[in-house]
Structure formats: C-alpha cells, structure tokens
Structure 1
Amino acid sequence: MNYYGNRQAPGSPRLASMLPVANVTSPSLITAPAIGEYWPGQGGINGGFVPARGDVPEHYLIFGDKDLGEFKWGGYEKESGATSKWNGKANTDALIAEGGHPAAVAARAFTADGHADFDLPAAAQLYQGWAHDLISTGAYWSSSQRSANNAFYMHFDDGYQGINGKFDELRVRPVRRFFI
C-alpha cells in the first residue's frame, strides 16, 4: 500500500516518503529499476519491495553490488540481541553496540553512492536476495543469531539456509533500506 492506503504493484511508480509527514504538498514519484538491476544513486542493486512490518515502513531492499570478503560473525559462546529474522538494521545496531562482530562492522563500514547506512542482512533479507537470483554462488552471513554458538547463513548455490558456527568466516554482502 502506498502512503494513502492504495495498493500498488511492486515496481510501479510509488509515492516517496520517509515516513508520513504533515504538510507534504508535492510527493515525488519514484520509478524503480527492475529487480536485480543497479539503482543509480541508491548504492546497489534493487532487491525488491518489502512491505511494512512492525515499526519499519515499506521500503525497497538495496543489495551492495559487491562482496566485502569473508569475515567471522564473532561473539562465539555469547548470546546476542541480534535475533530478528527480518530486520538487519536492528540486528547490526545490536552487534555493533556489543562489539566483537567483524561481519557486522564490515557491512556497516560499506559506503556507495554517498550512502553510509548499510547493514549485515537479516536471514529473511538474504532469502529475498536468493529468491530474486541476486547472488549466484557462495555462503553469506546473516545478522540473525541462532544461539550463543551459531548464526544463520544463506547458501546461494542451492538456497539452503542454515546455521553455522560464529567462529567461521563466511562472505558478507551489505544491504540498505530505501524508504518510500
């Protein structure tokens, strides 16, 4: 649904708004590139539309256009507050605050097209990337903890999503949210 409560198909022009704001007189129209295409000015590849959930408004998911390398998840044998399966920003915020999480630090340090608001994706965000064939191969960390010893990851070769030891090194692909 758009700001005014009307349903719109993903990929159609959308009214741009960060959050509902009073005194908005002339909202801009946004036309998204096709899923999987680079979105000029947004820092990466269009990962598709994400409906509002909880306190997070509807947005597009933007995947960084390159891997950052392999990093440890960190925090082995320690419980983390990074337990959301869909909110990579909340998870990354928790991991950065806790300290000792190299994959989250790498994702947060990434910048592109002037944007410095990238995160380590949550498990559902990685799954969305796999569902849209945005990454073709390799195993990538999510920001979603499973236990004191394990965190979720996504294997893009076959779509397997499982858990791995936090001490292992896996690939990192940053994501950001483009609110509409």
Structure 2
Amino acid sequence: MSTRISVPDVRKFWDAQGGIYAGTVHPRDGMPAYPLVISLSDEAHIQPAEYCKPEATFPPGSHWDGRGNMRSLLEADPANPIATHIRALRIGGHADWYWPAKLECAVLYANVGDLVYAYLRAQHAQQWATWMCQRTRNVETAFIQDFRHGCQTYKPRVTKFTALVVRRID
C-alpha cells in the first residue's frame, strides 16, 4: 500500500520539500509519475560551466531521468563542476537535488517557466543565462531549454551554460 502525499498548488513553495512545486511528471518510458520540485534559492545558483569534459565517455542519456543522467555523468566525469555543486547542495533539509533532463525541463517551462526566467535574470545579466543545459542521447551535445520563449535546442557539450536543480518526490 502506497502512502499518498499532499501536494500544494503548482507554483507554490512546498516547505516540506525545500522548493517550488512544479507539477507532476508523467514519463512515457515506464517510470512511475512523480511530483517535481525546483529550487530557485541562492544556494541553488550554479556558475556557468561546460556540460562535461570533451574526453568523458558515458552511455546516452534519458529524456526523462535527469537523476540517472547526472549519476552517469558523475561516473564519467567525477570532478564535473556543475554536477559536483549539485551533489553537495543541502536545501530545505534535502540532499537529493539533481540536474533535470529534457522533458523534465519541458514540464518546468510549462508550469513555472516565468518564475525560472525571473530567477535566471536576477542571477545573471547576460541573455544566454536564460538557458540551461542537460545531457542528450547524443553524447556530443547538451540540451538547452530557453525559459524566456520556451524553445529547446542542442549545443556542443563544451558550451558553457548554467543549470537548475530539481528533486523528485518518490
């Protein structure tokens, strides 16, 4: 028997979970649905860095599973500046933050994109900072989500961008 949790309205701060409730993700790859929380706190601010070292090799990523993608990235590039920053985060009493995957970013844009855009604008003065990246299935590129206009694209994985942190409630 599973325990049912009470979630706040989308876009509201979820005190017990350390961030803003961004909605429930319904993966189409067999994973169970899960609530997604994003942190837009000062601690979550990540300096721009490249996705990973050019020589790092790892299997293609998932469009849904950002947590698994970050685990694979850290195995291939243990000193990755973005992933190690995220792994060290302790926000709202939680230490299971991760870098969202492509379709988790789509959920973020749809439900809290304006909040993310305002956060990124406050953290960074440059236009490119309104984008964030995560791994694609092609190991040579990183996924980019534009939180101003909603477009999604790919860039070489050595391009420097910032990232956002999320956690799923299992």
> Is the 2:25–2:107 Cα contact (8 Å) retained in structure 1?
no
Taking only the aligned residue pairs, the percentage that are identical comes to 26
In structure 1, the residue matched to 2:131 is 139
- Conserved? CA contact 1:82–1:92, under 8 Å: no
Alignment correspondent of 2:96: 117
Whole-Å Cα distance in 2 between the matches of residues 62 and 81 of structure 1? 26
* In structure 1, distance between residues paired with 2:73 and 2:51: 9
Could you list the structure 1 runs, at least 4 aligned residues long, displaced by more than 6 angstroms after superposition: none
Gaps in structure 2 of 5+ consecutive residues: 121-129
Contact residue 62 and residue 137 of structure 2 kept, 8 A: no
Cα displacement string for residues 8-60 of structure 1 (whole angstroms, at most 9, x for unaligned residues): xxxxxxxxx4xxxxxxxxx4x53211111110020211010123655633210
Q: Is the 8 A contact 1:38 1:65 kept in 2?
A: no
Q: Which amino acid aligns with 1:39?
A: W
How do 1:1-180 residues align onto structure 2 when only pairs under 5 Å count?
A: 17=2, 27=3, 29-51=4-26, 54=29, 56-66=31-41, 67-76=45-54, 78-99=56-77, 100-132=79-111, 133=113, 134-136=115-117, 138-142=130-134, 144-179=135-170
Question: Are the counterparts in 2 of residues 103 and 141 from structure 1 also a CA contact under 8 Å?
Answer: no
TM-score by length of structure 2 reads 0.79
What secondary structure sits across from 1:92 in the alignment?
Answer: helix
**1:146 CA drift (Å):** 4.4
Q: Which moved more, 1:85-94 or 1:34-43?
A: 34-43
Contact 1:88 1:121 in 2 (8 A): yes
Q: Is the 8 A contact 1:63 1:176 kept in 2?
A: yes
Q: 1:36, 1:45 within 8 Å by CA — same for their partners in 2?
A: yes
SS across alignment from 1:84 = coil
Per-residue CA deviation, residues 75-94 of structure 1 (Å, 9 max, x unaligned), is 32544325101100110110
Task: Count residues with an aligned counterpart.
Answer: 153
- Asked if the contact 1:39–1:46 (Cα under 8 Å) also holds between the matched residues in 2, the reply is yes
**Who wins on radius of gyration, i.e. which is larger?**
1
**For residue 129 of structure 1, what is the amino acid of its counterpart?**
L
- Map of 2:126 onto structure 1: none
Provide the rounded CA distance (Å) in 1 between the counterparts of 2:103 and 2:156. 19
Displacement of 1:121: 0.5
Structure 1 residue runs of 5 or longer lacking an equivalent are 4-16, 18-26
1:61/1:175 contact within 8 Å kept: yes
Q: After TM superposition, give the deviation of residue 163 of structure 1 in Å.
A: 0.6
State the Cα RMSD in Å.
2.1
